[in-house]
Structure 1
């Protein structure tokens, strides 16, 4: 039984009710009472407060065969907006979503600098533009989450971004001096995992998400929380050694997983072998369609090494769901079946292995969703990309 002072209990009840309204999209007071086991009096008081705050709205159903038309509750999705920022090498992406996580505005800017002060000015400038665009909503921008392609501490300090050459940068503290909006800094792979849980896999609390683009990014949700490790640096699976004495890696070791399963490594190899400088996915697809033996053999090898690292991850964390994000996996026929064929250990347990349905947008959508979660103060969100 939960105990505590009245304010604490009220906060918990509010979180339960709001979470169910978001999850169900439309729900009656009676049904909220059933699914939360809260009394109707408690529901009425909490709903009245949420209506007054403009966070929820009432809708009367027009079609009801028998009895009174029920009054349905739903989140006021235009009451505020969340801003996700994906800070990557060479590009900064911005997405504004409503309170149900649906993107309403997106843009990106190309950058040809790694200088922190220059990039900082660009971020502030664009945040201010988005803030101005949201002034007519009740709560404006409710939170900003910035995705970092590098190590982020539990205190949300950027410890290291390899491609930008940044060390120990407190972007959060700097932004809080200039912008009066809650700011959160998070690792990009964690946000990808969060997006997969929030938008696609509602029935799991334990999820691993792995992307294989420029390197290997692994995000882990355990008991619906980020699994971050002691300092916040857990998940650097790309640097586990799968080939002792193998290819040299920028981290200083040899034989790291990402040297064998990142799309960058595949592109680099094919560019060299085929003597093509600016290789595209379309070109690789053409070779696959034409039955190019060399390309098929390379992708088969890519899948083999991917399965080796995946087997290690599954054995270490025993996840419920494993989500993979790679354009090469989408392009290659039966790629998941081929990976499963190499996951034949009798102690390798997971329920579902899938290719991401969200793709490259998962990072920035995860950022928007995390801002919403903090604002609504709910334990978890179940959102949809369908309006």
Structure 2
């Protein structure tokens, strides 16, 4: 075996051992040898490298099955930190996490702005506040992940944000120049799907659909445990599939798009005298008091969500559909209405093959998703 091949094998062994430690820590060297099939001297040598990089540390002795009690190895989650930023239509939600995805600090700002300059100033202020909360560590801030409600291409350039005019195409380079750390740009629904896959309701699932319902609708797709982005990164724009070919014109140029009927913008539409002036708390109170008009609005909202989900389920046949929307999460009548609409339209043989549930992570799902992708990229580089 030549030197180049030896180096590649060592690198692969290091990554394999590190992944097992992350998955199963605390774990002993002997157990790692057994799981990976690597001999004890190789395991010992590679573990020493991980300890030198401050990615792994030793803790007290574990249980013995005979002989000396083993020293246990643990992933050092506090060796570095990552930022996850979710830029919504009228808000920015930011979290600071350690390398294990545990939230250390968070910031939320509303963005009723009129220009890109004003919005970027708010974004930079939020990032500065979160960076000030980064604890001392070997690697410090390892990167910033940002997700936006729009189309992001494979080069992480923002192509189109139909509901947010201020978001600029080269946001990645603008943030990198300001903060001098690696920056990731991702679609918001993709990020939410990944957050649920790594930390939330889809931890043990391989094929899921994450539906983000806000001002518009987007979906994130996990296939065989991998985030599916499509050929150019444009997958998941199912908010713009037609559910009424005679429907009104959408901002995307199409007519009768799903999000014209099933988004929060549709729910809080001026055509509905009841809903246009409701705050979320008022909505909850009216629903709890069985206000008839409010319950009808909520049922109609769920019905239109279900109409679109029927096509999604027929297309992807996922194990689970996870819905991220504050109204769905707080109002059981909406989820029941969604299920009723889907059940009456989908193949009977498919009805028991999937779960339909609200998000387990709520508004932090997209930010956690971008943070986790940033962490994975960092860990991949630091173990090269």
TM superposition score category, shorter chain reference:
0.7 to 0.9
For 1:236, the equivalent position in structure 2 comes to: 237
What is the TM-score of this pair, normalised by structure 1?
A: 0.86
Where 1:372 maps in the other structure, the secondary structure is helix
Q: 1:195 aligned to 2:198?
A: no
How many residue pairs end up in the alignment? 373
- Residue 232 of structure 1, CA deviation: 1.3
For 2:224, the equivalent position in structure 1 comes to: 223
Counterpart-to-counterpart distance in 1, 2:167 and 2:62: 58
- Kindly indicate whether the alpha-carbon contact (under 8 Å) linking 2:63 and 2:70 is maintained by their aligned counterparts in 1: no
- Kindly indicate whether the alpha-carbon contact (under 8 Å) linking 1:80 and 1:137 is maintained by their aligned counterparts in 2: yes
Counterpart-to-counterpart distance in 2, 1:370 and 1:27: 25
Counterpart-to-counterpart distance in 1, 2:92 and 2:302: 31
Matches within 5 A, 1:60-99: 60-61=60-61, 67-99=67-99
RMSD: 2.7
Matches within 5 A, 1:1-387: 5-61=5-61, 67-131=67-131, 133-134=133-134, 136-166=136-166, 169-200=169-200, 201-268=202-269, 272-274=272-274, 278-330=277-329, 331-333=331-333, 335=336, 337-339=339-341, 341-342=343-344, 344-346=346-348, 348=350, 350-377=353-380
Aligned pair in 2 of structure 1 residues 311, 111: CA closer, same or farther (>3 Å)? closer
Where 2:252 maps in the other structure, the secondary structure is coil
Tell me the alpha carbon deviations over residues 334-368 of structure 1, each in whole angstroms, 9 at most, x when there is no partner: 62653552353146474433221111110111111
Counterpart-to-counterpart distance in 2, 1:328 and 1:128: 31
Counterpart-to-counterpart distance in 2, 1:145 and 1:73: 29
What is the TM-score of this pair, normalised by structure 2?
A: 0.87
- Residue 34 of structure 1, CA deviation: 3.1
- Residue 54 of structure 1, CA deviation: 0.4
Aligned pair in 2 of structure 1 residues 351, 77: CA closer, same or farther (>3 Å)? same
Higher relative contact order (CA 8 A, sep 6+): 1
Structure 1: which 5+ runs fail to align?
Answer: 379-387
Bigger mean CA offset, 145-154 vs 255-264 = 255-264
